[in-house]
Amino acid sequence: MANRIEMLKHGIRATIRYEIARSLNLGRGAAFLVLALFPPAITAIICRLPGAPPTMIPIGVTSLVVCVLANLVWSTSAVSGELEGKTWAYLAARPGGRIASMIGKYIVSVGWTALVTLSALTISIAVQALLVPTGDELRLWLIFASCGLIACFAYASIYTLLGTIFHRRAMVAAVVHTGVFELMIGWIPGIIQYATVRGPLVHLAVIGLVDKEVLEDPNFTLVFGEPNVIGHLISVVCLTIVALLASLWLIRTREYATTQEV
């Protein structure tokens, strides 16, 4: 058993190294720049509008969008990318190769998406601080950065699961899921929100952003519910862990022989 764990650790480390080396290319660099600069550009435009409306919500939303997009591109393809690239057969023929590869890829995609999300957020807040300083930038950054990091782990595991289940149409499945769950169900005030990442994260961000008096206002609780930080956190963490464990179980027990190999 210890030997197997050691083997798995080697595999995960090797995958991380390999995936990082492979991802350091012009394409990834260009995608990174586009994603990281899109929220600051929106922030700059808003700051230039007459009357300089508050940029807090656009910064939060665009950073979340960046996190979702980055994960769509980099997390969904854990299995489908290997199958399309015909390298799956090599990984699957290694002891623990499938699991080590998935965990390694998950860690790397979380790393990349966290980097791009935090870069986008940091530059956006710096832009705001330069153009319309409020003096509250650090608090804003801490709240959004915490939510952004949680979102990176959560979306990465959900998209990894979707890519594992629908490996032939991974991206389509991920986009449909995002549309249905994150854009539609995520807005429904009710327990069904906990099936999404966006729902609990928005609650967490709001709890961090508004004053204590507002949180206790009955009108506020009518819309956002009780300010239950632990509950929202547990919900996102559980969703992340369940999705990740389901991916690992699937990848270990599912037969991914391609049509060509049959």
Partner 1 sequence: MIEFEGVTKFYKTVIGVNDLTFRLGTGAFGLLGPNGSGKTTLLNLILGQLRPTMGSVKVFGVDPWRDESILRRIGYCPASELLLPNVSAREWVTYQTEMVGFSRTAAAELAERALRDVGLPPAAAERPIGGYSLGMRQRTKLAQAIAHRPDLLILDEPFNGLDPVGRHEMNELLTGYLADGRSVLLASHVLHEVEVIRPEFLLISGGRLLASGSPAEVRRLLIDLPNEIQLQVDDAARVAERLVATGLVDSLKVIDRQHLTVMTRESGKLLEYFPRLAAEGWPVRRLGTLDESLQDLFTMLMRRHRGEI
Residues found near partner 1 in the complex (CB under 8 A): 3-4, 6-7, 10-11, 13-15, 17-18, 21-22, 25, 85-87, 89-97, 100-101, 255-258, 260-262
The owner of tokens 């699937």 is 250
Closer Cβ to partner 1, 17 or 48, answer by number: 17
Six-digit token string for 44? 């700059």
Closer Cβ to partner 1, 21 or 222, answer by number: 21
User: Minimum Å distance from CB 23 to partner 1?
Assistant: 9
Angstrom CA distances, 129 to 112, 117, 133, stand at: 25, 18, 4
Closer Cβ to partner 1, 24 or 223, answer by number: 24
User: Minimum Å distance from CB 22 to partner 1?
Assistant: 6
CB-based contacts of 36: which residues, under 8 Å, 6+ apart? 66, 116, 119, 120, 123
CB-based contacts of 134: which residues, under 8 Å, 6+ apart? 128
CA angle 43–207–214, rounded 5-degree value: 100
Q: Calculate Rg over the CA atoms of the chain.
A: 20
Closer Cβ to partner 1, 219 or 260, answer by number: 260
Minimal CA–CA distance to 164: which of 243, 235, 92? Answer: 243
Closer Cβ to partner 1, 104 or 199, answer by number: 104
Closer Cβ to partner 1, 3 or 219, answer by number: 3
Side chain identity, residue 250:
L
User: Minimum Å distance from CB 163 to partner 1?
Assistant: 19
Closer Cβ to partner 1, 44 or 91, answer by number: 91
User: Minimum Å distance from CB 2 to partner 1?
Assistant: 12
User: Minimum Å distance from CB 236 to partner 1?
Assistant: 32
Q: Give the Cα separation of 137 and 121 in Å (integer).
A: 11
User: Minimum Å distance from CB 70 to partner 1?
Assistant: 20
User: Minimum Å distance from CB 7 to partner 1?
Assistant: 4
Six-digit token string for 141? 């950054």
Three-state secondary structure call for residue 136:
coil
Six-digit token string for 178? 């995002």
